[in-house]
Chain A
Amino acid sequence: MSTTSVEAGNTVIESKKAPTRSLAARLFRERYGFLLLLPGLVYFIWFRYVPMLGNIIAFEDYSPFKGFLHSDWVGLKHFKRIFEDAEVVRVIGNTLWLFFLQTLFAFPVPIILALMLNEVRNQRVKRLIQSVVYLPHFLSWVVVVGIVTIFLKTEGIVNKGLHFVFGMEPIQFLQEPGWFMPLIVLEVIWKEAGWGTIIFLAALAGVNPTLYEAAIVDGASRWRQMWHITLPAIRGTIIILLILRLGSVLDSGFTQIFLMLNPFTMDVGNVLDTFVYFKGIQQSDFSFGTAVGLFKGLVGLVLILAVNRLAKKFGEEGVF
């Protein structure tokens, strides 16, 4: 509607000269718009879509000297390796186990925290608490893992405290394989739980307060109000976030895991993200690394499309 008058004027002039060249005329008319689009479009094509085509090396024995197009074609060889290699199978197991733990323990925390924050009456106290719990989101993983390292090492404050209070021997938190996954989940909770509340609080802010008033008049307790009004208000958001999570079931967050891994925890902690890095970059096994990465991406794509369709079938809104 914004350009109707101008468009109308242009069409009149153009139709006299060249009615068949309307597309060229339109492109010419929009040339400044395309000028603005161009840098971003080139970026997306070169750094996001050309690499997608570059996944072709998963079907080759890629050699940097022969290049993308001239390396030897080997078909599905590297994909077969994914399921034959005991190490990859274990890495996939670690990845799925971590996803399960994150969904079970880390995912509900922002929901509970948002419900708790929503019950705080004093707005200034609420904002103060929010300021504190959002902060860790902006710290880098190096800082977070650094803090954890300082706290948990053999002579760190946690072990000193345990010795001081209970007389316990130091626990090797960072080397003990059994502590690896719990620490990863706890770090995610510490860093992201506060930030994760924002989207739920936004949904809760949209709840009509007269609903609560009506419920109180009907004699509903606080818990019943939460069950019948507050929780239904964020159900859609929870489902959308769960769908998005499933789409990234095989993404574990490279930086955090990479920083936490050490030779003692490699067996239990190596996940697909870090495996691709170790294989593909450090050992220059480009084709195998790419095959594992492509496998990961495709699983995510299929899952998110499937779950989205499923959610719609059950009458929920879905993501797209």
Chain B
Amino acid sequence: MPIKRTLSDRITDGINLLLLLLLSLVMLFPFYYITAVSFSSYEEFVNTELLLFPKAWVLDAYRFIFDSKEFIRSIGVTVYITIVGALVSLLLTSTMAFSLTRRLWGQRFYLFLVLFTFIFGAGMIPTYLIVKATGLINSYWSLIIPDAISSFNLIVMRQFFMSIPEELNEAAVIDGANDWQIYTRIILPLSKPALAAFGLFYAVGQWNTYFNAILYLNDPAKWTVQVILRQIVILDDAANTLASAARDAARSAHLPPPETIGMAAIILATIPILIVYPFLQKHFAKGVMLGSVKG
């Protein structure tokens, strides 16, 4: 039933909306600023007091980054880890999540093993020592395997599998299907959109991973995008981090300011996230709500 809104209601709504729009601007401004300045030229960047909108948009900083073997290699490495990592995580999470819906012998115990990790974790050093003992140090698998299953995703995925009508499984069982056949022929085909969403979440996690990379990879030749990004932007060391491009640029006496290189690097490291963001957004609200259902 429509209710007539009073004047004070309208004012409250107006102020509320204004505040929210201001907040949105605060969220968006850094993206705008970083993008704009990453395209500015050397002269304009150095000579402008407060650069908010470059007059000439040039690609110098991007060209410099793409000239560097280090950045390109780190992108390649990270793409590889992201794809393989997401697939491995999906496989391990979905098989286990499905098996935990099958009322296997000892199921309560396996479920407890998963849930207990929510309230107690082993700690950094013992985990590091086990990863080391497994022989994963300096291997890209160290970024993929030790965090392959997120307990949270596992529980949410199990909830999702349990929401698939039981009748389908019953029919399959009567037809003589075993659990493996139910998993591959019924559950997986019916869960494609959900699996895509979980895969995206794992992929974003891998793309953004930093901690495991500094913990387990000592060799700078194996650095991922995030590690390179920290060297360039936070430690302000573009020249050494991207040494191959710096050498070339020094010869032509045309080195873009390290600030614009850093901003361009941030943009390049963020673009993949922005591309998948619409797909992420479609699914995540559902996921959070599923996860809040008590199991």
Q: What size tier do the contact residues of chain A reach?
A: 35 or more
Known contacts A32-B178, A54-B126; 16 additional CB pairs below 8 A are A2-B170, A36-B98, A37-B100, A40-B92, A40-B99, A44-B117, A44-B149, A46-B134, A51-B127, A117-B20, A140-B269, A143-B269, A254-B124, A276-B125, A297-B121, A300-B119
Q: Could you tell me if A47 and B20 are in contact, using CB atoms closer than 8 angstroms?
A: no
Cα distance A164–B169 in the bound complex, in angstroms: 69
The 10 nearest A-B residue pairs measured at CB: A40-B96, A54-B126, A51-B122, A293-B123, A140-B208, A37-B99, A146-B233, A51-B126, A32-B179, A36-B99
- In the assembled complex, the CB of B286 is this many whole angstroms from the nearest CB of chain A, namely 10
At the interface, is chain B mostly helix, strand, loop or mixed?
A: helix
Query: Given that A5-B174, A54-B122, A290-B126 are known contacts, is A147 also in contact with B96, CB under 8 Å in the complex?
Result: no
In the complex, whether A245 has a CB less than 8 A from a CB of chain B is no
Q: Could you tell me if B24 and A133 are in contact, using CB atoms closer than 8 angstroms?
A: yes
In the complex, whether A310 has a CB less than 8 A from a CB of chain B is no
Cα distance A160–B27 in the bound complex, in angstroms: 20
In the complex, whether B17 has a CB less than 8 A from a CB of chain A is yes
Query: Given that A2-B170, A47-B146 are known contacts, is A259 also in contact with B180, CB under 8 Å in the complex?
Result: no
Query: Given that A36-B99, A37-B99, A50-B130 are known contacts, is A2 also in contact with B173, CB under 8 Å in the complex?
Result: yes
Measured between beta carbons, the chain A residues less than 8 angstroms from B199 are none
Q: Could you tell me if B16 and A119 are in contact, using CB atoms closer than 8 angstroms?
A: yes
Measured between beta carbons, the chain B residues less than 8 angstroms from A305 are 119
In the complex, whether B56 has a CB less than 8 A from a CB of chain A is no
- In the assembled complex, the CB of B148 is this many whole angstroms from the nearest CB of chain A, namely 6
Closest to B276 in A: A138
Q: Could you tell me if B113 and A297 are in contact, using CB atoms closer than 8 angstroms?
A: no
Closest to B172 in A: A2
Partner of A150, one of B169, B207, B262: B262
- In the assembled complex, the CB of A94 is this many whole angstroms from the nearest CB of chain B, namely 18
Measured between beta carbons, the chain A residues less than 8 angstroms from B59 are none
Measured between beta carbons, the chain A residues less than 8 angstroms from B120 are 52, 297, 300-301
Q: B28-36, B63-71, B190-198, B241-249: which one contacts chain A? A: B28-36
B196-214 near A? 1/0 per residue, CB < 8 Å: 0000000010011111000
Cα distance A148–B266 in the bound complex, in angstroms: 12
In the complex, whether B280 has a CB less than 8 A from a CB of chain A is yes
Query: Given that A37-B95, A138-B277, A142-B229 are known contacts, is A47 also in contact with B145, CB under 8 Å in the complex?
Result: yes
Measured between beta carbons, the chain A residues less than 8 angstroms from B123 are 51, 55, 276, 290, 293-294, 296-297
Query: Given that A47-B145, A138-B204, A255-B211 are known contacts, is A164 also in contact with B50, CB under 8 Å in the complex?
Result: yes
- In the assembled complex, the CB of B246 is this many whole angstroms from the nearest CB of chain A, namely 19
Cα distance A151–B30 in the bound complex, in angstroms: 8
Measured between beta carbons, the chain B residues less than 8 angstroms from A294 are 123
Q: Could you tell me if B27 and A289 are in contact, using CB atoms closer than 8 angstroms?
A: no
Closest to A303 in B: B119
Residue with the highest number of chain A CB atoms closer than 10 Å, among B99, B123, B134, B181: B123
In the complex, whether B1 has a CB less than 8 A from a CB of chain A is yes
Interfacial residues of chain B within 80-99, with CB under 8 A of chain A in the complex? 91-93, 95-96, 98-99
Measured between beta carbons, the chain A residues less than 8 angstroms from B105 are 23, 26-27, 30
Count residues of B near A (Cβ-Cβ below 8 Å): 95
Q: Could you tell me if B95 and A36 are in contact, using CB atoms closer than 8 angstroms?
A: yes
Q: Could you tell me if B28 and A44 are in contact, using CB atoms closer than 8 angstroms?
A: no
B129-142 near A? 1/0 per residue, CB < 8 Å: 11100100000000
Partner of A136, one of B9, B27, B134, B174: B27
In the complex, whether B221 has a CB less than 8 A from a CB of chain A is no
Interfacial residues of chain B within 1-29, with CB under 8 A of chain A in the complex? 1, 3, 9, 12-13, 16-17, 19-21, 23-24, 26-28
Measured between beta carbons, the chain A residues less than 8 angstroms from B181 are 32
Measured between beta carbons, the chain A residues less than 8 angstroms from B92 are 39-40, 43
In the complex, whether A247 has a CB less than 8 A from a CB of chain B is yes
- In the assembled complex, the CB of B21 is this many whole angstroms from the nearest CB of chain A, namely 7
Measured between beta carbons, the chain A residues less than 8 angstroms from B277 are 135, 138
- In the assembled complex, the CB of B101 is this many whole angstroms from the nearest CB of chain A, namely 9
Measured between beta carbons, the chain A residues less than 8 angstroms from B125 are 57, 276, 280-281, 286, 289-290, 293
Query: Given that A40-B96, A143-B270 are known contacts, is A301 also in contact with B119, CB under 8 Å in the complex?
Result: yes
- In the assembled complex, the CB of A196 is this many whole angstroms from the nearest CB of chain B, namely 10
- In the assembled complex, the CB of B80 is this many whole angstroms from the nearest CB of chain A, namely 17
